[in-house]
Amino acid sequence: MTSRLDPDLVFRAEVPLPIEGDQRSWDGWIGNLRESGEGAGRGGLPVDAETRLHDVQGLLRRLTLKLRDASEEHVLLVIADTRSNRLAVAASADILTAMFPVQPRHALACLASGRHPGGSALVFL
């Protein structure tokens, strides 16, 4: 993942939610991002990663609550590029597209140039 980021960006792993006593954390945080249009964020982007995608609705509930509780608007969801994960995403494309409207290529191009993708994105790596 970090090899695809602009060298000026900062990647931190296991970043706790900013709530005293909350045990949840983001799998990663990309910092020093430049704004990329309306609603781009505040210079950072939380990252969550999934190696095996089983319960898409459960994943979306968990991410929605983390975004709300962390006062964040956008997230980068990184999913392991496996056949079963691609099938799970394809089967749930309608609900995933609603939560992750930014196309993967656009999101990765923005991150490679140090910019916020301007919304939530789902990428396979």
**pLDDT tens per residue, range 3-23:** 889 999 999 999 999 999 999
Q: What is the pLDDT of residue 37?
A: 55
Among the residue ranges 40-44, 81-85, 102-106, the one predicted with the least confidence is: 40-44
Model confidence pLDDT, tens digit, residues 22-56 = 999 999 999 999 886 544 445 699 999 999 998 99
Three-state SS at 45: strand
The residues facing 29 across adjacent strands are: 12, 46
User: Rounded to an integer, what distance in angstroms lies between the CA atom of residue 17 and that of residue 83?
Assistant: 31
Q: What is the mean pLDDT of residues 73-88?
A: 97
Nearest to 44 by CA among 20, 91, 6, 10: 10
